Amino acid sequence: PRPIYLRDYRPPNFLIKSVNLDFKLDAAATKVRSRLKVRHNPKSQVHNAPLILDGENLKLDAVILDGNTLTRSQYRLTKTSLTIPETPIKPFTLEIHTTIDPSQNKSLQGLYRSRGVFCTQCEAQGFRRITYFLDRPDVLSTYTVRLEADPKEAPVLLSNGNRLERGTSDRGERHYAVWHDPHPKPCYLFALVAGDLSSIAADFKTASGSDVGLTIYVEHGKEERAAWAMDSLKRSMRWDEKRFGREYDLEVFNIVAVSDFNMGAMENKGLNIFNDRLVLASPETATDTTFEAIESVVAHEYFHNWTGNRITCRDWFQLCLKEGLTVYRDQEFSADERSRVVQRISDVRQLKAHQFPEDSGPLAHPVRPESYIEINNFYTATVYEKGAEIVRMIATILGAEAFRSGMDLYFERHDGEAATIEQFLECFAEVSGRDLSQFALWYSQSGTPHVECRTSYDKRARTYSLTLKQTTPQTPGQQQKNPMHIPLRIGLLGPDGHDLPLTTDAGDALQDDIIHLRQPSQTITFTDVPARPIPSVLREFSAPVHLEVELSEKDLAFLLANDSDAFNRWQAANTYAMRTMVAMVEALSRGKRSSRGTGFAKALSAALVDDNLDWAFRAELMRLPSQSDVATEIGQNVDHTFIYRAHRQLTRLIARRLEDQLAAIHDTLKESGPFSPDAANAGKRAARNAALQLLASLGSKTAINRTADQYFNASNMTEAAHALNLLAASNSPQRRTALDHFYQRWHEDHVVIDTWFVAQAQSPRNNALDVVRALTRHERFDITAPNKVRALIGNFALMNPVQFNRPDGKGYEFLVEQILAIDRFNPQIAARLLNAMRSWRALEPKRRKLARNALTKITKHPDPSRDVHEIVLRILD
C-alpha cells in the first residue's frame, strides 16, 4: 500500500448535494439504495474527470444514472472503487443499489450487528462499506434516510437529524422510519441504529428557547444506569452555551449504547453511538473513574457538534482540528465541573503516559501528519492529547478573552465548511494581532521539546537569571528541528514560600507570568530579588515539554509545601518520587540497594496533613509514578524487573513509615451516607483507595485483611474494584475467594465482568501470562468483542509491564499471536494492540532481541492488514 500525502490534496471533482438512503435491514442481506444528487465541482482543477466512488466489501446490484440503468461496460468495478467514466455536464441523479452482510462484519466498521442491534461506525472510512460514495470529509451533503426492519427484531429505528415519519408496511410485517438531517455533513458522520432497545428521555431548552428531546438508548433492564450519562449530557449542553456560546441545532439528540465498538464513542450528527462501558454507570456497577470518563466522553461527543460537525475537517490530515480542539473543550468542561488542578494533573498524567512515549519512539508523528498509509492508525495520543495542548497554549498566549474572540470568529467564519489548521490559526492571529507563524510549528514538528533551565543569583546586584535552552530531538523523517514558541508560566518563591513580584527588563519575552521562549537559548534576568528564590517553572504545565530544572530534594520538598501553583506542588512530589525510584533502579542494576526514600516519605507525610488540600489532590500525591512512567523516564536499557522492584521498594518504604497515617486516612474517610458521584466524594474515595494501595504493598496480614474487608464490605464499585485489584495482585488466601465472589456476582453482566478480567490481567504474579492465556478461552471472553480484548490482552500488555516484559520473551510472543488472530477480522483493534511494543528499542539487550523476534514474526505473515503492516514497518524501521 502506498502512503497518502497532505501535499497531494486536491478539491473533489464532484460534489454531492443530497443523499437519499433506503435501508431494508436484514441480518445477512441488507439492501441499500442510495440516490445521490451529483454535480461537477466548479473548484475542481480537473476537466472531464471520471466519477470515482469508494466502496469496499459491497455487492453491487445496480447503477442507475438519471433513470437509465448502466450496463456493465458503462462503469468499472474494483475491490475498492466504482468508476463511471462518462457523466453529464449538468447536475445528475445517480442511484446505486448494493447488498451488504452486517452479521459477518467483525471489523466493526460500516454497518454491523452488536448483540443483535444494527449499528454503524463510519469514521474514518466506514461509509464506503455501506454504499459507493465520495468517502472524504470535504464532500458535504444533506441526508434523508429511510429504514425498514422487522418490528419485533428492531422496534427502534434511528438515524441522524429529525424524524419525519414512521409507519408500518407489508401488513405489519415490517415497519419503517424516515429521518432527515438538514445540516450538510460528510459521510463519516452518517449513522443508523435499529434494534430492540429501551431508553430514558429528558427535555432541554436551549438558551434561545428551542426545545430539544434528549434520549439515551440502552439494553432492556439497564435504564437506571443511563441516568448519569443523561445528567452529563444536560450539563455539557449548558456549558457549551455559556462558555463558547454554542447551542444545539436539532429537535432531538440521541445517544445509543452498543457493546461492540472499536472506539469509545462517535459523534454522528444528532445520533451519538457509544461503547456501552462509557454510558452505563451506577454506584454498584461502576467506579468513580468510569463516572468521570462517562461525563467527559459524553461532553466530548456533544462538543463535536460544533467542533467537528458544523465545522468539519477538509481532509484526514486535519484530524486534530476537530479532535485536539474537542479534547481541549472536554478537559475544560471537566475542570469547571470538578477540581481544575486535579483535572490538569490527570490530563498531564495521561499525556506523559501515552503521548510522550509515542513522541519519543518510532511512531512519533506531527500533530498534523504529512502522510499516512492507514488513517485509522492516526487516532493517536499525539493527535488528541498533544493537539489539545496546542489549543491550550493558544489560550495561554492570547489570554481568555482574545481566545474566546478567536473561537467566535472561527465558528462564524467556517460554519458549514470543511476547514484546515491554517484557517483555525488565522482566526486567532487576526483577533490578537499576533504572529503565530512560529507557533504553527507545533502542528508540523514532531518530538517533545526538551527545555533546560539554568539559574544564577547575584546577591550583590540582587538579580536572578533564568537561562532557558530548548532542543527537540530527531524523530522519524525529521532530522532538522527549528526552535518552537514555548509559553512557560513561571513563579519565583521567596524564602517565606510566597511568590516574589516578577520585575525584569526582558521586554515582550515576559508577559505577566509567561516567558515566551522562542530562541534556542534565552536568558531572563529578574531585578530586585532580595534573596535566592526557588523557581517554579512550567506552572499548570503550560507547554507539553520535558523540563529539566536544577532543584535539590530540599527545593522539591519546599515547592511541594509552598507553591502557590497547585499543579506544581503535585509536580514537585511527582519529580521527587520519580528521582527516588530512578536512583533505586540504578542501585538495583549494580546489585545494590539504595537507601533513599525517607526524604520523599517525609515530604509526602507533611502534605497529607494539609487540610487546605482537597482529598482528590491528596490522592494524587499518594499515587506514585507508574512503572511505565519510570521506564519512559529511564529511556534506555530498560529492565522491567528492576523497575518493578524499585517501585515496590519505595511503595513499601512509604507504607512502613506512614503506616498509621495511611491507616487513619483509610479509616476516617470511610463512606457514610448514600453514594454521590460528585468530585468531593469521589476525591475522598480516591484518597482512601490510594492509602489502601500503599498499605497493601506491605503484604502483611493486617494489610491484607484491611483490603479484603474493603472488598467484601464495599458499598460501591469504586471500593470493590480497587480492593479486588489489590487482592488479585497479592499471594493471599483471600485472592481466590474475592475473584470467585466477584465472578459469581457479575458473570452475567457483560460490562461489569470486564473488571474481573482486568484484575487478573494486571496482576504482577509470576503466573500472570498463564492465567491470561487461559482466560482467552474462558466462556465469558470473546475475541471479537473489543472491550474484552482491551480488558484482558490490552491490560496485560500495557498495564502489567513486569509480566508482559518477562525476561523469556513469552509475553511478546503471546501478544503477537493474539494480534495476528485479531487482525483477520478487526485490523483496527489489532494495530492498536501493537502500541504495547512501540518502546521495544528502549529495552535492555536481551529483551530487545526477543521483542524484535516477535515483531519480525508479523512481517513474515503472508497477509497482514494495512493497519498492522504500517505500524510494524514503522516500529521496526
Residues serving a catalytic function are: 301
* Count of residues near ligand DPP by CB under 6 A: 8
What is the DSSP track for 609-620? T-TTS-HHHHHH
List 54, 95, 135, 267, residue binding ligand DPP (CB under 6 A): 267
CA distance 681 to 719: 12
Cβ proximity to Zn ion: between 383 and 502 the closer is: 383
CB of 123 vs ligand DPP, minimal distance in Å: 5
633 SS3 class: helix
Q: Give the range of 152-160, 261-269, 813-821, 869-877 binding ligand DPP by CB under 6 A.
A: 261-269
H helices of 273-386, in order, are 288-303, 319-337, 340-350, 356-359, 381
Does 276 engage in binding with ligand DPP (CB under 6 A)?
no
Does 385 engage in binding with ligand DPP (CB under 6 A)?
no
CA distance 876 to 41: 42
Calculate helix-pair angle for 566-589, 615-622, nearest 10 degrees: 20
Ranges of beta strands (E only) in 373-520 are: 418-419, 450-458, 463-471, 486-493, 510-511, 514-517
List 181, 301, 374, 870, residue binding ligand DPP (CB under 6 A): 301
Pull the grid cell for residue 23. 435501508
Check residue 849 and report its DSSP letter: H
List 94, 263, 278, 436, residue binding ligand DPP (CB under 6 A): 263
Helices (H) and strands (E) in the chain, counts: 30, 32
Cβ proximity to ligand DPP: between 320 and 572 the closer is: 320
Cβ proximity to ligand DPP: between 244 and 379 the closer is: 379
**x/- contact string, 324-363, with Zn ion (CB under 5 A)?**
--x-------------------------------------
Q: How far is CA 717 from CA 286, 321, 400, 746, in A?
A: 5, 37, 39, 12
Cβ proximity to ligand DPP: between 324 and 362 the closer is: 324
CB of 140 vs ligand DPP, minimal distance in Å: 17
Does 266 engage in binding with ligand DPP (CB under 6 A)?
yes
**Contact of residue 578 among ligand DPP, Zn ion, none (CB under 5-8 Å per partner type):** none
Calculate helix-pair angle for 627-634, 566-589, nearest 10 degrees: 70
Does 123 engage in binding with ligand DPP (CB under 6 A)?
yes
CA angle 75, 81, 83 (to 5 degrees): 30
CB of 300 vs Zn ion, minimal distance in Å: 5
CB of 502 vs ligand DPP, minimal distance in Å: 39
Q: How far is CA 541 from CA 442, 536, 559, 568, in A?
A: 16, 11, 15, 8
CA distance 618 to 11: 53
Q: Give the range of 74-82, 260-268, 364-372, 541-549 binding ligand DPP by CB under 6 A.
A: 260-268
Query: Which residue is associated with the grid cell 472488598?
Result: 711
**Contact of residue 288 among Zn ion, ligand DPP, none (CB under 5-8 Å per partner type):** none
Q: Give the range of 258-266, 338-346, 426-434, 533-541 binding ligand DPP by CB under 6 A.
A: 258-266
Q: Give the range of 268-276, 316-324, 364-372, 495-503 binding Zn ion by CB under 5 A.
A: 316-324
Cβ proximity to ligand DPP: between 239 and 303 the closer is: 303
CB of 273 vs ligand DPP, minimal distance in Å: 9
CA distance 173 to 194: 16
CA distance 873 to 877: 6
* Count of residues near Zn ion by CB under 5 A: 2
CB of 301 vs ligand DPP, minimal distance in Å: 6
Restricting to residues 19-78, which ones interact with Zn ion according to CB under 5 A?
A: none
**x/- contact string, 317-336, with ligand DPP (CB under 6 A)?**
------x-------------
Q: Give the range of 15-23, 139-147, 259-267, 846-854 binding ligand DPP by CB under 6 A.
A: 259-267
**Contact of residue 685 among ligand DPP, Zn ion, none (CB under 5-8 Å per partner type):** none
Query: Which residue is associated with the grid cell 533551565?
Result: 453
List 100, 140, 256, 265, residue binding ligand DPP (CB under 6 A): 265
CA angle 172, 178, 182 (to 5 degrees): 175
Does 870 engage in binding with ligand DPP (CB under 6 A)?
no
Cβ proximity to ligand DPP: between 14 and 190 the closer is: 190
Q: Which long-range contacts (CB under 8 A, 24 or more apart) does 677-682 make?
A: 677/228, 677/281, 677/283, 677/288, 677/291, 679/337, 679/338, 679/339, 679/342, 679/616, 680/614, 680/615, 680/616, 682/288, 682/291, 682/292, 682/616, 682/718
Restricting to residues 769-828, which ones interact with ligand DPP according to CB under 6 A?
A: none
Cβ proximity to Zn ion: between 138 and 323 the closer is: 323
CB of 272 vs ligand DPP, minimal distance in Å: 9
CB of 369 vs ligand DPP, minimal distance in Å: 16
Q: Give the range of 317-325, 439-447, 630-638, 691-699 binding Zn ion by CB under 5 A.
A: 317-325
**Contact of residue 266 among ligand DPP, Zn ion, none (CB under 5-8 Å per partner type):** ligand DPP
Phi, psi of 598 (to 5 degrees): -70, -35
Task: With beta carbons less than 8 A apart as the criterion, state whether 204 and 160 touch.
Answer: no
**Contact of residue 265 among ligand DPP, Zn ion, none (CB under 5-8 Å per partner type):** ligand DPP
Task: With beta carbons less than 8 A apart as the criterion, state whether 62 and 69 touch.
Answer: yes
Q: How far is CA 653 from CA 379, 488, 530, 577, 699, in A?
A: 40, 35, 39, 12, 13
CA distance 132 to 713: 56
H helices of 563-639, in order, are 566-589, 598-608, 615-622, 627-634
CA nearest neighbour of 53 among 28, 70, 30 = 70
* Strand pairing category for 4-5 and 59-65: unpaired
Q: Give the range of 95-103, 143-151, 265-273, 284-292 binding ligand DPP by CB under 6 A.
A: 265-273
Cβ proximity to ligand DPP: between 267 and 620 the closer is: 267
**Contact of residue 263 among Zn ion, ligand DPP, none (CB under 5-8 Å per partner type):** ligand DPP
**Contact of residue 388 among ligand DPP, Zn ion, none (CB under 5-8 Å per partner type):** none
Restricting to residues 195-224, which ones interact with ligand DPP according to CB under 6 A?
A: none
Cβ proximity to Zn ion: between 95 and 323 the closer is: 323
Cβ proximity to ligand DPP: between 293 and 409 the closer is: 293
Cβ proximity to ligand DPP: between 269 and 684 the closer is: 269
Q: How far is CA 815 from CA 340, 629, 649, 764, in A?
A: 38, 21, 29, 17
CB of 188 vs ligand DPP, minimal distance in Å: 8
Cis, bond preceding 124 (omega within 30 deg of 0): yes
CA distance 858 to 318: 30
Q: Name the β-bridge partners of 271.
A: 254
The site for ligand DPP (CB under 6 A) is made up of 123, 263, 265-267, 300-301, 323
The site for Zn ion (CB under 5 A) is made up of 323, 326
